[in-house]
Chains A and B, each alone.
Chain A
Amino acid sequence: MIVGNVVCPFCGCLCDDIVVTVEDNRITAVEKACTSGRSLFLNVHTQTAKPTVDGKEVEWAEAVDVAARILTDAANPLIYGLSSTASEAQRKAIALADLLGATIDSTSSVCHGPTTIGIQVEGEPTCTLGEIKHRADLLVFWGCNPAESHQRHFARYSVLAKGKLTPGGRRDRTMVVVDVRPTLSTRRADVFLQVRPGHDFELLNALRALLKGQDLDVDQVGGVEVARLQDLVERMKSCRFGVIFFGMGVTQTGGKHLNVAELVALVAELNAYTRFTAMPMRGHGNVAGADCTLTWQTGYPFAVNFARGYPQYNPGEFTAVDVLARGETDAALIIASDPVAHFPRRAAQRLAQIPTIVLDPEMSLTAQVARVVLPTAFYGVNAAGTAYRMDNVPLPLKKVVDSSQPTDEQVLDWIIEKVKTCSA
């Protein structure tokens, strides 16, 4: 059986043109996907996995019972992850956090969390990816390397895409990359500005000054000659439709959210000359969805705490790394992410010390230190659901092959019911 128009849940591009061949409930071929997407579809296993408690296989009812008890007994439980699960499950996770008075945070807090804070300061002039495909003649990639992280971005949405006003594709666009080192993406660029690490804010600030017609009394800023910055400003002012895509090279380097606010201010000011937009290169398949669901249910996109019975937001106070590293968390529910593999050591160690529950189709590093492991279906491969693309366009994830595993949404529903009876 051949299934077309499958949405790949791997990264924020959510390419929705994947063609998957299924034989005997196994995926045998994947067309159009990038190497990451192909590998995702080909390696999802379909054999039955049982939940475990303290390493021993148990029935689902027992595992859910233990998980619910851990969470109700905890004083400061943490729910974390969310970026690789469907929005249906994210909504349940938030409901559970509300019920428990827990802290809830998504992987945004260690990638584009500063983007959110920058947007809360300065705003967000943006658009959907189709606008870039059809209109943009100037593409600036700042602190990101889509050639390796979002492999089909250039072809589907940006550099190579042929649109209404850009029928020549690559020929009709100028590509600028700002980064601290040469990458596969910089090799494709017409202009590469190599900024000294940690100097992105200065560069953005200098561009704003030049845009306002101010003279700079230095020869270079952040390792880039002023003449080249002046050239970039002229390109920005004179293009038809411009965009800055930015990644963690902007959000996780010195200055963090201030860099984003400065970038947004520059983009907003450029609209006095032409149309200009900005877009964060969101990483995980549904990390944008985690922002969306958390926002409509709590008012805030990450770093939310319900201990007072209502949502409070404070990055640094309620972000997962911080509550773990400070030792405040006494139980954790990790959904579709692997913090032990990615967090600073002290935060990761805390997850091994406290009772941790993991919902994941894969046996992650976090699952290996967890007390309760709940192996769930893989959204977009063996379960249907919804994911939000990096530009917040929602797409339907398909069930391509069957699985006997329950979904994150179902398991979270069971835990919610159990917690309600525990607390009653």
Chain B
Amino acid sequence: MLGIINGEVYDPQNGINGEIRDIWIKDGKIVSADEVERAEAEIIDATGLVVMPGGVDIHSHIVGAKVNAGRKFRPEDHRDHVRTRTTLTRSGSGYTVPTTYMTGYMYAEMGYTTVMEAATAPLVARHTHEELEDTPILDKGVFITMGNNHFIMDCIRKGEREKARDYVAWLLGASKGYAIKIVNPGGVENWKWGRNVEEVDDEVIGFGVTPRQIVSTLAWINDELKLPHVPHIHAINLGQVGNARTTVEMMEALEGRRAHFCHLQFLSYGGKPGKRLRSGAAEVARAVNEHPNITVDVGQVIFGPATTMTSDGPLQYRLHQLTGDKWLNDDVEGETGGGVVPMQYKRKNPFNAVQWLIGLELFLLIDDPWRVYLTTDHPNAGPFFRYPQVIKLLMDRDYRAEVCEGLHPRAKKGALLPELDREYSLYEIAIITRAGTARALGLKNKGHLGVGADADVTIYAKLDDKEEMFARPHYVLKGGEVVVRDGQLVRELPGRTLYVAPPYDPGIERDLRAHFEECYTISFDNYPVAPEYLPHGEVVPCS
């Protein structure tokens, strides 16, 4: 039993905005005051401190085949960034692509307790779950890439939506995934022919379907299965000048169905294709404001080193040609693809500077904080442990102006950002980093401090410098256990892996056996990830 008393509490889900409250914890959950024997409870005196639910990251690449490939081929990323073993914790290395244990510790030290791995090909989901088990403290889930899946595209062509629905339900259960992920729908399949898609109605080679059909079918399936999250969409033309238009078209293609658009910064580029990059933030933010069915995360650029890694094979090849840096590509049979390319974002590079501006403009132009979330698409636009800097940029317009000063002059010319005076409040920060993300993910026990919530709590010193404040919380509690005390990691616990297991017509398995015989190099029986791989697994109900 534990009590956090006299803290300044920010709990937007329950409408609490900086009021002084006591929080009581028992058996890993938030409880009401009368359920606790005060004499027996450990008391944390939070007088003068800020209390929030533990952070919930809706989109980050922390484990699995792509991340590990990035670690493996970037020793230069790790050499100067190491973590020493202690009697409590494991050692590790890595800056933009840290090792699994180090990732768990660093997120916890930043006050985050739940993180969603943004993309895994189902064929290699077993690998992802092995790494998740080696990622301590955090509760986690995995999004399963389906936007270029042969079985689904075949069903769409034949008009067999119900069969596709049963397949998706089976696939989520078999891969122990949490949500449907769509990456460059159709474009990754076309990349296997050296091509891509450019318009929402372009054709996928060999399947006769379009990005629009893939997205709208999966959005329908998501609603049918009542999944806790919505389809998580990485739209077409990512990173291309002028993609704001197709991003908005993709939002319209949903025809009102719910969806999440990830790392929107990379998809809000104005200007004409082949010409100089201009901000398309105003156009895309307007579309988000007009579509209440849409949530987004930003993917804010952080100046410095990054590692780009996506399932978007053609994009990664383009980045390789652009930078000339080493290129890793991995096409996955019948399902998806992917690539990894190192990156360096520079203030004095006009393209990078505009990318940075676009991210912040989106944050400031999207009206409803419940529908826009803080991410850096770690490690694509920058590493996750720089979130506190983004918080400072959002809360402090003087700091924004100061960073803007150092940008390439061509990027500053005509930029919208200097005109935007909005500053985020602590309440709004609590929304874009935990309350909003937990709500979008359908995690009813996360992101708030009401009775019955998981006792994941972060306690910060109230400092003027918001970067400093959010970088090193005083206390972090995970499931009611103190894991960070006085800024130090004091305990290593295993985290849970959250997944869904929606019901499906078992008749689908007969079709799938035939599909596996024809399309895969492994047998149907060896494909599903057995529950033994998730010793800390927990099913999140669909409803």
- Residues on A lying within 8 angstroms of B by beta carbon are 4-5, 7, 16-17, 87, 91, 95, 98-99, 116, 119-131, 133-135, 156-157, 164, 240-241, 268, 271, 274-275, 277, 291-293, 295-301, 306, 308-311, 313, 386, 388, 392-396
Contacts and interface: CB of A to CB of B under 8 A. Distances in A.
Contacts of A295: 68, 71-72
A306 B83 CA distance: 11
B328 A123 contact: yes
Contacts of B100: 296-297
A129 B63 CA distance: 22
A309 B85 contact: yes
Q: Secondary structure at chain A's binding surface: helix, strand, loop or mixed?
A: mixed
B15 to A, nearest CB: 41
Contacts of B92: 297-299, 310-311
A311 B522 contact: no
Candidate in A5, A125, A395 with the most chain B CB atoms within 10 angstroms:
A125
Contacts of B131: 296
B93 A298 contact: yes
A99 to B, nearest CB: 8
Given A123-B327, A126-B330, A309-B84, A131 B94 contact: no
B497 interface: no
A7 B526 contact: yes
11 contacts: A124-B328, A126-B330, A127-B329, A274-B194, A275-B193, A275-B194, A291-B72, A295-B71, A296-B71, A299-B99, A393-B124
Contact of B331 (A124, A128, A299, A311): A128
B14 interface: no
Contacts of A241: 192
B99 A297 contact: yes
Contacts of B82: 310-311
Contacts of B98: 299
Nearest to A424: B87
Interface residues of B, number: 59
Given A271-B317, A297-B134, A394-B130, A128 B330 contact: yes
Nearest to B195: A275
B126 interface: yes
Interface string B288-330: 0000000000000000000000000000010010000011111
Candidate in A5, A310, A386 with the most chain B CB atoms within 10 angstroms:
A310
B333 A394 contact: no
Contacts of A124: 69, 73, 327-330
A297 B136 CA distance: 12
Contacts of B520: 130
Q: Secondary structure at chain B's binding surface: helix, strand, loop or mixed?
A: mixed
B329 A128 contact: no
Query: What are the 4 tightest A-B residue pairs by CB atom distance, in nearest-first order?
Result: A130-B333, A123-B326, A127-B331, A299-B93
Interface in B425-456: none
A120 B74 contact: yes
Given A299-B93, A392-B124, A277 B99 contact: no
Contacts of B134: 91, 296-297
Given A16-B523, A128-B333, A134-B334, 8 more contacts: A120-B72, A123-B320, A293-B130, A298-B91, A311-B91, A311-B93, A313-B75, A396-B526
Contact of B75 (A131, A271, A299): A299
Contacts of B123: 128, 393
B194 A130 contact: no
Contact of B90 (A131, A275, A297): A297
Contacts of B130: 87, 91, 293, 386, 394
Nearest to A116: B72
B198 to A, nearest CB: 18
A393 B122 CA distance: 10
Interface in B109-123: 123
Nearest to A122: B326
B14 to A, nearest CB: 38
Contacts of B126: 386, 394-396
A292 B127 contact: yes
A32 B142 CA distance: 35
Interface string B159-197: 000000000000000000000000000000001111000
Contacts of B97: 299
A45 to B, nearest CB: 26
Nearest to B520: A130
A16 B93 contact: no
Contact of B127 (A157, A311, A388): A388
Contacts of B71: 295-296, 299
Contacts of B16: none
Contacts of A130: 332-334, 519-521
A274 B334 CA distance: 19
B16 to A, nearest CB: 39
Interface string B329-343: 111111001000100
B374 to A, nearest CB: 26
B85 A164 contact: no
A123 B333 contact: no
Given A274-B194, A309-B84, A157 B521 contact: yes
Given A98-B91, A135-B192, A16 B522 contact: yes
Contacts of B79: 313
